[in-house]
Structure 1
């Protein structure tokens, strides 16, 4: 696609670079190039696209306010949409003293992302898998450059629509965890091999309203063109995973999938239901079923209840589990893992993945695997 070279005219409408249509057609804007053979102009357009996607500096940052206004309003002129957007964003950073003293908040989506996710300083992209050596690293560090560009646009759109930014936070927390744990490959599925403390099989399902939303997303045309990673969508819309991340977030996710797709321009504005953030309650969205017809043999149970008191079995103790006696939730003991890995050299195992471990070997490398017990710990952290 090429930008029109007709003489620009000043327009008072900035909808094409600030409204919902800009984000809906982002992929098209990123592919736009000026209709010129001038190498400097072509480079400037590429730089503007890099800037709005978070990978370059603003080519217009040194221009005066009047020049920025001309570029931002030059609808139908020689500037690409992303160049106009870059000029508009440069304008947002030029505030009068009265405004700057009362409005310290970020002015665009990228600034919002850096502030909310990274505390004001964006780190380089961290590489999975999750191991004992990067356990203290924030999951958001594992978001790739495409993720960060997408997230910036989500924040900008949510702010422009008057939505609570916590809805974006919740969705991004799930995407961050997905990236951190090797696109979910290190995370267990709550519907596969999950048993309660009495040895009965347990499964999870969305409640009817959320189940209907998940079905609509998975069967929509929008999922084929949305900028949100399809692998992540199919992962989080599987109740075996969705029961433990993004709980209560499906209505907002559905709106983002559509808005950030080729159908985005036809989508209605975000409604007032997103104006104030409502913390999700697990029981309002997830059905947990205990299957009394399927039970592990006592010899394979990790814990049990005796006289109303939860306790680990000998097998559970031997395998290094610990038990929350109040809830009966199992988790792997970090101490047990540390003891097993204390003699392992970092260079030898730091790049091994969960699949390497499952294939066997005498030594136990310092991989982090989130099984059902750890998933419950994660669930409590996202409420």
Structure 2
């Protein structure tokens, strides 16, 4: 049985009607000797306590009062599977009061549980934390109670409680951040139209999820921003979704403004990528080696894993046979900064490699049909009325019937049919649509 010794004694306090707080004399148990009660001193010399202290005092009274449900476990709503089953509801819960302090603390507790804010109950003793975790009076949100309980679990063993294993903490973070509280079964690749609406994270394997859980636990224990793990997970989920990258084609270059253009990591990232691929840790790392090589291909990673290479190196080494010898994460990982594409991609335009001249015989500009210079030089003639391209010396059945440019705004040819378009394949398309180049231009010109 666990005996709760509240930091603030409910039997030895006197309450005033002052709006600044309540005046109390606190009783600190030996277990809580390291924790100072949330007190403040007023101008008249009396000591006041904060709203949190008032709540703790009320929670202590409720803990002492018989409830008639001795068999009910007050921790069940915050530790059982039903907590994660209703995770979205708990994250949206706010206090009924409009007090800014209560609202801020509730938001902070939710942020703490989801890995992007600090612990709102840091500094409280075990007895005080137990009061929050076990209180069912409605003074605290479910996430506040859960945050207090996790804090207790992280302490040294005391009584019937034992510290919460880091793997469990990481798994709960993983389920919360990737699956919103309910872990789905592993989806099977490859990517098809049937699973286009399925979330990429669902394709992460059981081994992936176990590793990611350990990553979250490690990064949180180091005080680093969990978004670094999120970025790595996003790239890994894409890799799994596309059948371990088999359905993705490396972008080794394409024509931009008529010149062959290639893309690479910036020099610092390229050096780290080379170091990872040649490191001894790669052979023993728990991170899928195929994925590591995949994402370190500039034709893939330069666009899909922007700015994440330094963190990837730390994780490859940490979760390898060399992990015990790795230094702690530095302050550079305390805050996650979204990387800009232009800052992490080196673009090289090869002026010596130009787009081959078009061999189209005709073109349509603003609805006007004309022969191209190539068509004229080859001796072709355009019959505008019938929209036919031919050489005067060719027999009639060899005349080329221009197709409507399906990719351009040239209008429909009144005498063209789908069968005509399918049958006539002798002349190449008049325009070359280089989607990757167009996409990169949009990314480059996009203003945040």
C-alpha spacing 1:249/1:153, structure 2 compared with 1 (3 Å) = same
Give the equivalent residue in structure 2 for 1:179.
Answer: 240
CA distance in 1, matches of 2:249, 2:319: 29
1:199 touches 1:298 (CA, 8 Å); kept in 2?
A: no
2:195 matches 1:195: no
Cα drift, residue 195 of structure 1: 2.3
Q: TM-score, normalised by structure 1?
A: 0.53
The one of 275, 278, 281 equivalent to 1:219 is 278
CA distance in 1, matches of 2:264, 2:403: 29
Cα drift, residue 293 of structure 1: 1.9
1:245 touches 1:379 (CA, 8 Å); kept in 2?
A: no
Give the equivalent residue in structure 2 for 1:19.
Answer: none
CA distance in 2, matches of 1:97, 1:321: 70
Helix, strand or coil at the partner of 2:193 = coil
C-alpha spacing 1:111/1:315, structure 2 compared with 1 (3 Å) = farther
Give the equivalent residue in structure 2 for 1:164.
Answer: 225
C-alpha spacing 1:227/1:259, structure 2 compared with 1 (3 Å) = same
CA radius of gyration, larger in: 2
Q: Which runs of 4+ in 1 moved over 3 A?
A: 103-107, 298-301, 314-318, 371-381
Map residues 245-284 of structure 1 onto 2, 5 A cutoff.
Answer: 245-284=304-343
Helix, strand or coil at the partner of 1:284 = helix
Give the equivalent residue in structure 2 for 1:210.
Answer: 269
C-alpha spacing 1:288/1:99, structure 2 compared with 1 (3 Å) = farther
2:259 touches 2:349 (CA, 8 Å); kept in 1?
A: yes
Give the equivalent residue in structure 2 for 1:372.
Answer: 436
The one of 344, 349, 355 equivalent to 1:296 is 355
2:181 matches 1:120: yes
RMSD: 3.6
Q: TM-score, normalised by structure 2?
A: 0.46
Helix, strand or coil at the partner of 2:207 = helix
CA distance in 1, matches of 2:264, 2:238: 21
Cα drift, residue 373 of structure 1: 6.4
C-alpha spacing 1:300/1:202, structure 2 compared with 1 (3 Å) = farther
Structure 1 unmatched runs, 5+? 1-91, 307-313, 323-370
Higher relative contact order (CA 8 A, sep 6+): 1
Structure 2 unmatched runs, 5+? 1-125, 135-139, 151-167, 366-401, 410-434
CA distance in 2, matches of 1:273, 1:239: 24
Give the equivalent residue in structure 1 for 2:130.
Answer: 96
